[in-house]
Amino acid sequence: MTLPLTAKLAHLASMTPPHDATAASYSGVLRIGGSRQDSVLFLGPHETCPLNASNSRFAAPSTASSYQCSQDKPNGQYVQCLSTQRMEELCAFAAASRLKLLIGLNACVGRASIDGPMDVASFAPFLAFVASCEACKGALFGFELGNELDLHVYNHCDGVKPEALAADMQTLASLSAKVFRGWPESARPRFAGPDIAAFTGTTAMPDEDAARGSNYFTRYLGVLSPPGPLAALTFHQYTYCDRGGDIPGLETVIDLDCLARLRVAGRAIKKLTDQHATPHTETWVGESSNVFMGGRPNISDVTFDAFYYAEQLQSMSSSNVSVVIRQDLLGSYYALLTYPRLTPKPSYWVAYLWKLLVGRDVFLLSESSPGEAPVPLWLHCSAHCGKRPGVARTAVILNFHTVHSARVAVPTLAATNRRMELAGNMSSFVLSGDIYSDQLSLNGAPLELLSDGSLPVPAGQPVTAGDTVLVPAKSIAFVEIHGATRNCL
């Protein structure tokens, strides 16, 4: 038996709730979007999907024949549609899963050139339906506009200039304000963008112009009228890190130099948000996995990916990135669940434990004081607020070495400062497994659904107060320190 998808979704850490006042009412954000997003037509009530977009109200001006906006060859070649019936079903599904929907809208419809406007008005019938749909009230986070439309000609896509895309986002926000004016202000749709890939295989900003000190993000943000419609500045993150075994002489599960790009990207985009966006705008990883274009077999669907994903969650939390959206839930190699059985892959269990055990605030990341032995480069440690009642701190320790184990003085690591003492008893949750296997173990026992299809409630291994915690080679450890939970989220 397998667990219903709605129940599985309620436990995903990759869908971390944003820092807003209503976040306690839902468990995360479910994004509907991706490469084909900019070829999808959003229908109004009683509309049918046209056989050819060129012969419909969604047609682009005839002058657009030589310009390709979408990654998925629009202009009537591959018509795909989202009906109001399917949108209502998505809203009902999200509500049952305690999720909020982030709907990726098509930024190419009606667009005739790289710097010209799109037909934002084409969304009006669809948005009007959503505003009137009872199932969607309370189930919608908001909308994004466009998917990876920067100017580096990805997959034969010509892209959209950031000034044009930002102007369209401003127009969409104005249209939305009119259509959803009957909704309570706290429930009205919010907006995320520009959904541009950043630091994918490099350490450069997209469309960076060093001489002018600009890039796609700064040009995009420069057009939005203060205070601006964006609740989240979004970037896509694919680092494409190799297995250790693919690099002769490497003694770690994964290439650590490559992994370092995660933190570089997170901190750079967060700094950019702070400098160029308004104070209410958060920084999100709007789409992410190690390998893009569906992932790779024996990379994206095995325990190797769990190490990448744990590092990403650790790095983004330390960079004050508010949300990490995993690509994807179902389909292709990088999905968190198998299809059609809907059983968890290794990275799902990382998400599950992170969501269950790790609080929002992070205190320390792989540091050592003068006089202490330096933290090995292959041991990545962080300390967070505890998540469960009676837990003061949760430490996350990633041992990437293929041979060496490590003993970690967790109470010292997890202290907010060197004068603080955490003397409570501890519980450890250690994930391990063959990096080329699709099976993961928790404290030595295989992780799997229970006989009735439900998720197991993990039990930690008790650790005596003050003791060190053994973190084996090739393992991911979550360690709870029990005690008072002061000043924690």
Residue that wins the pLDDT comparison between 252 and 156: 252
Cα separation, 346 vs 2, in Å, equals 16
Six-digit token string for 312 = 């990403």
Give the domain extent around 110: 5-359
Strands 190-197 and 282-288, bridge-based pairing: unpaired
Together in a domain, 388 and 354 = no
Same domain, 369 and 334: no
String of DSSP letters for 50-81 = -S-GGGSTTPPPGGGTT---STT-TTTTS-EE
User: Residue 489 domain-assigned?
Assistant: no
Distances (CA, A) of 73 to 40, 104, 221, 222: 11, 17, 28, 29
Least confident segment among 81-95, 128-142, 413-427: 413-427
Is 488 contained in some domain? Answer: no
Which tokens sit at 47? 């509309």
Global model pTM greater than 0.85: yes
336 has pLDDT over 50: yes
The verdict on 156 and 91 lying in the same domain is: yes
- 298 and 394 belong to one structural domain: no
In a domain, 125, yes or no: yes
Is residue 379 one of the residues assigned to a domain?
A: yes
- In this structure, the answer to whether residues 425 and 335 fall within a common structural domain is no
The pLDDT of residue 10: 44
Closest to 394 in 3D by CA, of 417, 361, 346, 351: 361
CATH of the domain at 389: 2.60.40.1180
Same domain, 174 and 288: yes
Q: Mark whether 345 and 467 lie in a shared domain.
A: no
Q: What is the pLDDT of residue 198?
A: 78
Structural domain contains residue 436:
yes
Mean per-residue pLDDT for 142-154?
A: 86
Residue given tokens 């990341």 in the structure block? 365
Q: Is residue 344 part of a domain?
A: yes
Judged against a pLDDT cut of 90, whether residue 210 lies above it is answered with no
Q: Do 247 and 107 fall into the same domain?
A: yes
**Residue 59, pLDDT score:** 80
Of 284, 292, 58, 37, nearest to 157 by C-alpha is: 37
Residues 335, 296: contact at Cβ < 8 Å? Answer: no
Q: Do residues 159 and 292 share a domain?
A: yes
Of 185, 186, 87, 190, the closest CA to residue 134 belongs to 87
Scanning 330-458, the segments in alpha helix (DSSP H) are 346-357, 410-414
pLDDT (0 to 100) of residue 201: 60
487 found inside a domain:
no
Q: Which of 315, 331, 359 is the C-terminal boundary of a domain?
A: 359
Query: Do residues 266 and 390 both lie within one domain?
Result: no
Q: Which of 330, 359, 388 is the last residue of a domain?
A: 359
41 or 416: which leads in pLDDT: 41
Last residue of a domain, one of 313, 341, 359: 359
pLDDT tens profile 215-237: 999 999 999 977 789 999 999 99
Same domain, 220 and 179: yes
The reply to whether 462 and 352 lie within a common domain is: no
Tokens of 266: 């997170």
* C-alpha gyration radius of the chain: 23
Cα(303)–Cα(249) distance, integer angstroms:
21
Lowest-confidence segment of 249-253, 331-335, 470-474 by average pLDDT: 249-253
Which of these ranges, 78-87, 180-189, 280-289, 416-425, has the smallest mean pLDDT? 416-425
Number of domains in the chain: 2
Per-residue pLDDT tens digits for 150-179: 876 566 788 899 999 999 999 999 999 999
What pLDDT is attached to residue 11?
45
Q: Is residue 368 part of a domain?
A: yes
- CATH classification at residue 164: 3.20.20.80
